[in-house]
Each structure stands twice: as C-alpha cells, then as structure tokens.
Chains A and B, each alone.
Chain A
Amino acid sequence: MTTLAYADPSPYLPIFFMILAAIGFAVLNIAGSFILGPKRLGDRKGETYESGMTPIGTARKRFNVRFYLIAMVFLVFDVEIIFLYPWAATYTLLDPGSEQSLVWLGRILFFLFTTVVAYLYGYRKGVFKFD
C-alpha cells in the first residue's frame, strides 16, 4: 500500500516555481525602481497622499472600543461564509431526498443555529446599542 508519506513530490514542483516567481517578482520590482527610478525628494513628494488631500491630525489616535466589538461580530459572519460557500458548492452533488443530503442539511442548520446563538448573546450583551 502506498502511503502519502512516500508519495511522489513532483506534483508540487509548479508550486515551488510559483513561489520562486513570486519572490523574484517582488525583488526585481523593488531593485528595479531603486536602480532606475529618478530621486527627486521634497515636501510635496513626501506627503502621505501625493497630490491628494492634506492629512489632518495623527494616525495614531484612539478609536472607540466599540469598533472592536463590531469587528468581532463581523468575524462571526465571515467564518460563517467560509463554511457556507463550500457547503453550497457541494450540496448540489448529493441525491435530492436521500438520507445523506438530510444529514448535510441538518449539519449546516446546526451551524447556522450556533451563529444565531452568538448573535442573541451579542444582542443581550448590548453590542448593537449605539448611544
């Protein structure tokens, strides 16, 4: 019995070349613009947004902690999508009405239920209150 451990590594060769190409592209661009690019520095050139709006204040100001709560609530959705998408893409391959398809439906409904619980918790916690 062939096991994975002794499998032929050659299918991974393109990935290796891809990594090489990615690193090479980045190095080439940075080195190229460093060597070839004209260097005319000045006040205008050094601004955050060249020929854009003038920045106001510092970027390192404090944000309201609520933004973190919103970010976390968003993450729940985000993770949900990660699971929903492959589920939806493969669900159509199952026989309609078969026992297996029911099990798959049950699984995703349970997963959606956990999200509902998470949002109920967030709602009771007052995450969605803005005052």
Chain B
Amino acid sequence: MIEKLAIVWPEIILFATTCVVMLTGQWPVCAVRRMTPWLAAVGLIAAIGAAMASPPSDGLYPDLVPYAKSLVGIMGLMILPLLAGTVDRELEAGVARGERFEPLRSNGAEFYAFFLFSLTGLMLVASSDTLIWLFLALELTSLPTYMMVTLSSRSTRAHEAGVKYFFLGALGAAIFLYGFTLLYGATGSVNIPTIAAHFAEHGLGPIGLAGVLISLIGLFFKIAAVPMHFYTPDVYQGAASPVSAMLAFVPKMAGFMAIFMIVGSAGWGPDGTGLPVPVEALLWVVAAMTMTVGNVLALLQSSVKRMMAYSSIAHSGYMLVGVIAGPGGDGASFWRNGLAAVLFYLLCYGVMNLGVFAVLASLERKGQEADDIDDIRGLVRTHPPLGWSMVICCLALLGFPPLLGFIGKVGLITSGITSGHLALVIILAINSAIAALYYLRLVAAVYLEPASDTGFRPSRYGSRQVAALVSAGGVLVLLLMSNRLITAADDASRYAPVAPETAPYAEAGANN
C-alpha cells in the first residue's frame, strides 16, 4: 500500500497547498490575502513537476498518470488568473475604504481551496485503480464545484444553478455508485484490472453487463451527455464565467477518464473492435444524440454562455466516438487510437473553450459579466486583443483547418473510421457543419459587425484578460507543439489489462 504514495505526490502537494490557501485566503492582513492565488500557482507548478516524474500506476492505463496530471495542472494554471475578482468584491472594496475585515463574510479562502480540491480529485481519478478510489476521487472532483457555482455570484440564478447542479450531481453519483456495486457483485473485486481480467475470462454476464451500463449512464452526467445534460445550460449561465470555464473542463475530464476505466474493464478486444454489443450500442446512441442535441439546441441560443454550454455537450458527443473506437489494438498509431484522440481532444477543448469564457469574463458593465451575443458585437474594433482571442478560439472550437480543434477532430474521425464506425463518423461530420453555423455567428458578431458602444468595458481584474490572451496564444502554440502532444497522448492511452492467468484473484481483497 505504501508504494502507492509514489504516484500520488502531485495530489499530496496540491493538498498541502490547499491547507495553506484555506488559511491565507482569510488572513486579516490584506497583503497575505493577495498572495493566495500566487501560492495556489506555486502549488500547481510543483504538482505539474511531480506529475511529469510520476511512475506508472497499477490501473488499466498505467501511463495515463503523467499526461493526465500534467494536463490538469496546466489547465489549473490557466484557469487560475481567470478566477481573480470572482468572490469578495464588495468586501475587499470595503476593506480598502478602511472597514474591518470580517473572516466570516469572506469567501476567498473557500473559493481557492475548493478549486484546488477539485483539481486534486481530478488527479486522483487519473491514478485510481479500484472502484472505491475512483468513486471517492469523482466525488472530490464534483463536490467543490457545486459550492463554487453558488459562491461565484450573488445572483439568485447562481444559487438556483448550484442547487440544481448539486441535486442532479447527487443523482448521477448514486447511479454510477449503484453500477459500481453491481460490478463488484459480478466479479467479487473492486480492483479494476482484476475486474477486467474476470470479464476477459468469463464474459460480462447479465450482472456485469448491467454494472457496466449503469455505471456509464451515471458517468454521462459528468460529461454532460444526452440524456443527462439538462443541468448544463442553466448551471453554466448561472455561474460566473470563470467558474463556467472550469466546469466545462474539470468534470468532463474526470468523466472521460472514469468512462475509460469502466469501458476498458469490459474490454475492446485484441483488435479494438470487440466491445460488447450492448455497451457499444449504448455508447453509439448516446454519442449520436449528444452531438445532435447539443449542436441543434446551441443554434437557438442568444446567450453566449448557454451556447457554449450546448457546444460543451456536443463536444462530449464527439469525444465519445473516440471511446467507441477504443485503443485500436497493439502498437496502433495515433490516428487509429481513439483513446489517444480523446485525451488529445480534451487538452484542445480545455484551452479553446477557456478562451471564450475568459473573453466573456473580461468584459463587464456595472459588475455584470458579458453574456448575450449583443454584448460582444464589434469587439475586434473596440477591444482588439479580446476580440481576436474570441475569433481564434471560436474558429478552433469549430475545427477550422489548420487550427487546434481540427487536428483533434481528425484524430477522432480517423480512429472512428478505422474501427468501422462509418455511420457515426458521418453523423460527426454533419454535426461539425451544424456547429459551424453558431460558431461563425459568434465570429461574425465579433469581427464583421461595426463597433457599437454596448457599455461593456474590460474588467479591472487584468489577469482575466491575461487568461483570454493565454488561451488564444495556447491555441496557436499548442498547434506548433501538436506533434509532441500527439505522441504524449498516444503513450498515455496505453491500455494494459492484466492477462487472465496472472490476475490476482485470491489476493485482490487481502492487500487493500
């Protein structure tokens, strides 16, 4: 058991940082409070360093750990500047006027601590090798986000969003926990590689099949796949833009890694096309519905945040194609490896999507963040850096060649074709065309329309604009690095189920 400590150093570092942040965030001295985001950044950088040096885990995807944890750390670093000024605005303004600082009224400590806790949970999902660990890690990822939604804004809409998110999240967790218990019941082990070995030897059986399907349905909530997507637009719109940016990445990444593990325990077979028929059918139908519903409903929105929420649903659908395609057999290249395509796409999506929310968060009118499409008309003329960031990120999200989203989507499409899911790939292509309509509507509003004074000014929290520029820059820089990233994603997705004869059935329970 003690050997496992070696792979959780990034989490330990983040936890220690969280403990410090929890205290400094509400320190009576203003200078100490200002230091809090910097402390969080230092912790994240240290965690990235530890993640890159991490040894392989005992899970189904031994090499997932360094890639996934570094990705989480880097995304955390990119979201961090965006969080500035989300909570405690009135309080800090009052303190600046000379009022006394009241810790009970401040939320800064909790907000940053919850943010780091959520990232810690996300890293733990990557290193999980048992169902219990996986469940606890998923909960650690989600529980802080419920509170961050509620804390992020004073409006009743944010409170409604938080409550909605919490109850539906609890429902999702109950469903996948039930699925996990069935998996345990069918195999007699909570160890995921052991479960995979058991299924490889004895087949799924009715209870194992029910376990896999029910777990997946619960996990669909995390990635906002249809029919578990209903909370997404309300929650993204209700929460402040920085938190919405986080919500679009963190639970989705956790959900996809967990889905990898659950689908991986059922197995894709030696050539990557042997997914059990009911599992494949469920994933197929959900992927097709998610893409279509997400994109069609995004067309109808006038609120950019709601539009991005539906686009986030659609992107989950695209990524499910990669899950269905699977690892593509031994030694398959990136273009045949669906899991690598998903891991790479998660990185692309995180960066591109962050840019759009960062632009929205950077524009304010009387303390209100930009939300409606009218708020950003002519942005390229009025605030060129923000406007261009928006244009670049939207085109990348659309998958405009040769931008980042295009490379990610090509990986998904080629892996889908080589694994023989032509119909699904055609649905994906049609959906990309539908998506072009609303992304281009955003680009047109920002770029083509004449400048008009909407009353929105860049936020006085300059670090938000830095986040927007960094994301747009990231879309371009990552494009240049995409060759290396593709290799990294390919290595990270190495799928290594234990061979049935070496499966530790007898000891499975003993050493846990």
Contacts and interface: CB of A to CB of B under 8 A. Distances in A.
Contacts of B1: 103
B207 interface: yes
Given A1-B505, A4-B185, A120 B103 contact: no
Contacts of A120: 23
B188 A99 contact: no
A117 B185 contact: no
A2 B437 CA distance: 56
Interface stretch (A18-26, A82-90, A121-129): A121-129
B22 A117 contact: yes
A3 B187 contact: yes
B318 interface: no
Interface string A82-124: 0000000000000000010001000000000000010011001
A56 interface: no
A27 interface: no
Contacts of A1: 188, 202, 505
The B contact surface, by secondary structure, is helix
Contacts of A99: 2
B191 to A, nearest CB: 14
B184 A121 contact: no
Interface in B1-32: 1-2, 19, 22-23, 26-27
A3 B19 CA distance: 43
Contacts of A126: 102-104
Contacts of B22: 117, 121
B206 to A, nearest CB: 9
B446 interface: no
B186 interface: yes
A18 to B, nearest CB: 22
A4 B103 contact: no
B103 A124 contact: yes
Contacts, number: 34
A120 B23 CA distance: 8
A120 B102 CA distance: 16
A117 B19 contact: yes
Interface string B184-201: 111110000000000000
A5 B186 contact: yes
Nearest to A106: B2
A117 B15 CA distance: 11
A3 B103 contact: no
B103 A125 contact: yes
Interface in B156-209: 184-188, 202, 207
A4 B1 CA distance: 25
Nearest to A120: B23
A98 B485 CA distance: 45
Contacts of A3: 185-188
A121 B24 CA distance: 10
Contacts of B187: 3
Interface string B98-109: 000011100001
Nearest to A69: B104
A124 B23 contact: yes
B426 to A, nearest CB: 40
A121 B103 CA distance: 10
B23 A5 contact: no
Contacts of B185: 3-5
Contacts of B109: 121, 124-125
Nearest to A127: B104
Given A1-B505, A99-B2, A117-B19, A124 B188 contact: no
Nearest to B1: A103
Contacts of A117: 19, 22
Contact of A124 (B2, B26, B202, B207): B26
Contacts of B202: 1
A126 to B, nearest CB: 5
A98 to B, nearest CB: 12
B19 A4 contact: no
A106 B1 CA distance: 12
Nearest to A4: B185
**Interface core residue of B103, B109, B505 (most chain A CB under 10 Å):** B103
Interface string A52-89: 00000000000000000000000000000000000000
Interface of A: 1, 3-5, 99, 103, 117, 120-121, 124-126
17 contacts: A3-B186, A4-B184, A4-B185, A5-B185, A5-B186, A5-B207, A103-B2, A117-B19, A117-B22, A120-B23, A121-B109, A124-B23, A124-B26, A124-B109, A125-B104, A125-B109, A126-B102
10 tightest A-B CB contacts, nearest first? A5-B185, A5-B207, A117-B19, A3-B188, A4-B185, A121-B22, A125-B103, A126-B103, A103-B2, A126-B104
